């Protein structure tokens, strides 16, 4: 084992509060793996929640594994050390089950890198009797798991708090061999066993048919919690080494009722389920009793929580400060801004997503320029020095005028933000965080084309040039080529697994893998798809009706700009 990496892991665990350690004797050993770094993974509430629930079972020991930092990966390879768990430092291959929690498609390559380092065969069909069973959960498991499906023994489709217990029960009762266990799992709602489904393609390369084998369900239905009050979703392990490690995180509910046409989360977590004020108040009081002084409220749209005022009062009564990651401009109130200011918020975040009212109507982001500017007024009135905004380029029907309007809107926002707050403090910084639109499954824009990396790079240059003259405006953005990778993996089918395997063989160098893969990335990314085309994920039911998506897709195009000179 690499002693330098071991010492680093020991220091991380020593700084934690709430780490769960259990004796392995006679227990089912589960490695819960987040295929990204510790800093990113420990900020994921779903990951922490499943870790806690699994460890509440007396005959289960669940330990965490993360993707090592880049410099540590080199050391692991040099020393021949396999990835190991934080709690007992056991190698990944020692566990009975390995559960990957995957939130971002870009982490698919990291899944395979970890399996390779552990000496576990990548393809499920190649695993031996002594190898662990490999599964996947997380939002990618019920968005479109097909690109990574050949590497999974099974996939947990949906919200896992209840499903995790059923998987363990099936293993406890029926694990005599792999096939018998998978037979048992196929009977569970929300379990997808990829090898029990045959995929056929037509002459044009489209998915023609998905044929379930005997015993497998024709449609895999997503599991969802019926009573969110029965499950607290909080940060149970505290660490100063996570992105939000300085505060206790609390999920207020699941889903968002806004229905933005680009947003996966707003579709697949329906119906919206809010935890009650009483349930949240009880959790807040418990966190305060444990010594928490700052609480971060988490959810798809926290400022839309119907009883946000009562919840803020509960936090204040408990003597804690409050933080919210992002706020809808049209639901920002003076009382909410005041509460955030009292809590020491130095940056407030809103997401206009587009520079024009027209394009916001296309994407169904129903906020106006005036509502955005009114939010700027509240920021200044309450003395919050910085404002961060999220914009997206490459969206359907976007024109050059829409892109240029991002800079124009930024200038008008600055005019409002420059006004001195009541204490006389000058405004700090306006940040424009620019992301690239990626068509996602289960959204009205799943048929749209990806704009392409070169086009997106040109649009980024337009935005940068329009705000270059402002010294206190900062532009942050992702690499458009990273967005192109995400587009490939978000809408790919099982044939994309070959690309992932090549990328893993090159230590995650997906750019080199794309050059050598014999598939066509453009087939999955920049091609507009016909509404009647069978999608790779159509053998899932996540609670989203295709007829509704088609209706919203057509309504979006009704907002297209007029073509100059058209008759």
Rounded Cα gap, residues 206 and 201, in angstroms: 5
| CATH number reported for the structural domain that contains residue 150 in this entry | 3.40.50.280
Lowest mean pLDDT among 313-327, 345-359, 536-550: 313-327
363 located within any domain: no
In this predicted structure, the answer to whether residue 320 has a pLDDT above a threshold of 50 is yes
In this predicted structure, the answer to whether residue 231 has a pLDDT above a threshold of 60 is yes
How large a percentage of the chain has pLDDT more than 70? 98
552 located within any domain: no
78 located within any domain: yes
Q: Where are the beta strands (DSSP E) in 223-346?
A: 248-251, 253-254, 273-274, 294-298, 321-324
In this predicted structure, the answer to whether residue 340 has a pLDDT above a threshold of 80 is yes
What pTM was estimated for this model as a whole? 0.93
pLDDT for 303 equals 86
Rounded Cα gap, residues 100 and 32, in angstroms: 6
Q: How many CB atoms lie within 10 A of CB 454?
A: 10
In this predicted structure, the answer to whether residue 487 has a pLDDT above a threshold of 90 is yes
> Between 404 and 173, where is the model more confident?
404
- DSSP annotation string for 385-451: -EEEEEEEES-TT--HHHHHHHHHHHHHHHHHHTSPPTT-PPP-EEEEEEEE----TTSTTTTSPP-
Rounded Cα gap, residues 141 and 146, in angstroms: 9
Task: Assign 564 a pLDDT band (cuts: 50, 70, 90).
Answer: very low
Task: Assign 226 a pLDDT band (cuts: 50, 70, 90).
Answer: confident
For the stretch 418-472, pLDDT in tens is 887 777 777 889 999 999 999 999 999 999 999 999 999 999 999 999 999 999 9
**535 strand-pairing partners:** none
Rounded Cα gap, residues 233 and 45, in angstroms: 6
198 located within any domain: yes
For the stretch 233-267, pLDDT in tens is 888 899 999 887 778 899 998 888 888 999 998 89
pLDDT for 562 equals 53
269 contacts 300 by C-beta, under 8 angstroms? yes
Q: CA neighbours within 13 Å on the CB side: how many for 340?
A: 31
pLDDT for 258 equals 86
Number of domains in the chain: 1
- DSSP annotation string for 43-91: T-HHHHHHHHHHHTSTTEEEEEEEPPPHHHHHHHHHHTPPPB-TTT--B
194 located within any domain: yes
Average pLDDT, the chain: 93
Task: Assign 217 a pLDDT band (cuts: 50, 70, 90).
Answer: very high
36 located within any domain: yes
End-to-end CA distance of the chain: 73
pLDDT for 567 equals 32
Enumerate long-range contacts of 471-475, CB under 8 Å, 24 or more apart: 472/414, 472/427, 472/428, 472/429, 472/430, 473/410, 473/414, 473/429, 473/430, 473/431, 473/432, 474/429, 474/430, 474/431, 474/432, 475/431, 475/432, 475/434
368 located within any domain: no
Q: CA neighbours within 13 Å on the CB side: how many for 498?
A: 10
Tell me which H or E stretch contains 221.
strand 220-221
Ramachandran angles phi, psi of 373, nearest 5°:
-70, -35
For the stretch 165-215, pLDDT in tens is 999 999 998 777 888 899 999 989 999 999 999 999 999 999 999 999 988
Task: Report the alpha-carbon angle 40-41-44, nearest 5.
Answer: 100
Q: What is the mean pLDDT of residues 48-71?
A: 95
304 located within any domain: no
Q: What is the mean pLDDT of residues 210-231?
A: 91
Cis peptide bond N-terminal to 68, omega within 30: no
Q: How many CB atoms lie within 10 A of CB 119?
A: 12
In this predicted structure, the answer to whether residue 386 has a pLDDT above a threshold of 60 is yes
Domain that holds residue 110: 3-221
Write down the number of H helices and E strands in the chain.
Answer: 20, 19
For the stretch 509-531, pLDDT in tens is 999 999 999 999 999 999 999 99
Q: What is the mean pLDDT of residues 220-240?
A: 87
Lowest mean pLDDT among 95-99, 201-205, 227-231: 227-231
pLDDT for 566 equals 39
Task: Assign 227 a pLDDT band (cuts: 50, 70, 90).
Answer: confident
């Amino acid at each position: 084992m690499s002693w330098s990496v071991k010492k680093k892991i020991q220091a991380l665990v020593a700084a934690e509060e709430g780490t769960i350690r259990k004796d392995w004797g006679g227990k089912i050993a589960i490695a819960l793996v987040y295929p990204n770094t510790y800093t990113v993974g420990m900020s994921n509430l779903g990951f922490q929640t499943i870790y806690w629930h699994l460890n509440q079972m007396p005959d289960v020991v669940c330990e965490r594994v993360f993707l090592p930092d880049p410099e540590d990966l080199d050391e692991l390879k040099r020393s021949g050390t396999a990835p190991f768990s934080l709690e007992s430092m056991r190698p990944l291959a020692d566990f009975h089950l390995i559960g990957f929690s995957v939130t971002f498609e870009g982490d698919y390559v990291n899944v395979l890198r970890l399996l390779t380092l552990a000496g576990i065969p990548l393809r499920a069909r190649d695993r031996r009797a002594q190898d662990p069973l490999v599964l996947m959960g997380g939002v990618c498991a019920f968005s479109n798991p097909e690109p990574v499906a050949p590497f999974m023994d099974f996939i947990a489709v949906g919200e896992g708090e209840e499903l995790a217990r059923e998987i363990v029960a099936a293993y406890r009762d029926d694990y005599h061999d792999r096939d018998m266990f998978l037979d048992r799992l196929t009977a569970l709602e929300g379990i997808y066993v990829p090898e029990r489904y045959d995929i056929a393609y037509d002459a044009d390369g489209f998915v023609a048919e998905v044929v379930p084998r005997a015993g497998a369900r024709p449609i895999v239905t997503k599991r969802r919690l019926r009573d969110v009050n029965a499950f607290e979703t909080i940060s149970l392990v505290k660490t100063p080494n996570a992105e939000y490690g300085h505060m206790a995180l609390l999920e207020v509910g699941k889903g968002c009722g806004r229905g933005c046409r680009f947003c996966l989360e707003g579709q697949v977590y329906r119906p919206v389920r809010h935890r009650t004020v009483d349930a949240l108040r009880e959790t807040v009081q418990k966190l305060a009793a444990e010594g928490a002084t700052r609480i971060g409220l988490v959810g798809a749209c926290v400022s839309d929580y119907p009883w946000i005022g009562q919840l803020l009062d509960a936090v204040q009564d408990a003597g804690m400060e409050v933080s919210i990651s992002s706020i809808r401009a049209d639901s920002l109130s003076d009382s909410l801004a005041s509460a955030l200011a009292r809590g020491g918020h130095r940056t407030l975040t809103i997401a206009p997503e587009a520079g024009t009212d027209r394009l916001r109507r296309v994407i169904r982001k129903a906020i106006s320029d005036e509502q955005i500017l009114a939010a700027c007024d509240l920021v200044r009135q309450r003395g919050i020095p910085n404002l961060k905004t999220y914009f997206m380029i490459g969206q359907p029907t976007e024109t050059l005028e829409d892109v240029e309007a991002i800079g124009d809107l930024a200038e008008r926002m600055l005019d409002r933000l420059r006004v001195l707050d009541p204490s006389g403090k000058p405004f700090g910084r306006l940040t424009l965080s620019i992301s690239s639109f990626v068509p996602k499954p289960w959204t009205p824009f799943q048929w749209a084309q990806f704009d392409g990396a070169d086009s997106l790079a040109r649009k980024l240059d337009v935005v940068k040039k329009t705000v270059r003259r402002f010294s206190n405006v900062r532009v942050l953005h992702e690499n458009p080529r990273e967005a192109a990778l995400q587009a490939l993996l978000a809408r790919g089918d099982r044939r994309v697994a070959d690309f992932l395997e090549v990328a893993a063989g090159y230590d995650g160098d997906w750019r080199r893998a794309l050059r050598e893969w014999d598939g066509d990335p453009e087939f999955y990314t920049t091609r507009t798809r016909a509404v009647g085309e069978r999608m790779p994920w159509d053998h899932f039911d996540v609670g989203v009706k295709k007829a509704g998506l088609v209706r919203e897709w057509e309504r979006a195009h009704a907002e297209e700009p007029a073509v100059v000179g058209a008759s």
